[in-house]
Amino acid sequence: MMENMKEKWQEFQVTLEEITTLSKREYLLTLAVCLLSGLVIGMLVSPKKRIMIGSHNGNNNGNGNTGGLPQDEEAEEAEA
């Protein structure tokens, strides 16, 4: 089994020595695949897994009005 693996390794090394040409399109696609796969791998390996959009840091006016203008108009009529 070990000899079989050595033979396959020798055959593989011979194929690496061959000179091949790439078209500009193939070269560009190869670069794009490498870039995008690097981004995906970086996102998967990164330590931060959760992202919070809208951090709930207290940027509200404190009146508890969630409905908008209709409650404001009712409040003004009650005051008048």
Q: Which distant-in-sequence residues (6+ apart) come within 8 Å of 71 by Cβ?
A: 65
H/E stretch holding 2 reads helix 2-16
* Predicted pLDDT of residue 49: 67
Q: Please give the Cα distance from 49 to 41 (Å, whole number).
A: 13
* Predicted pLDDT of residue 33: 98
DSSP 18: S
pLDDT tops 90 at residue 63: no
DSSP SS3 for 77: helix
* Predicted pLDDT of residue 58: 63
DSSP 17: T
Question: The whole model's pTM is what?
Answer: 0.43
Model confidence over 7-57: pLDDT tens digits? 999 988 888 887 888 899 999 999 999 999 999 999 888 887 677 666 666
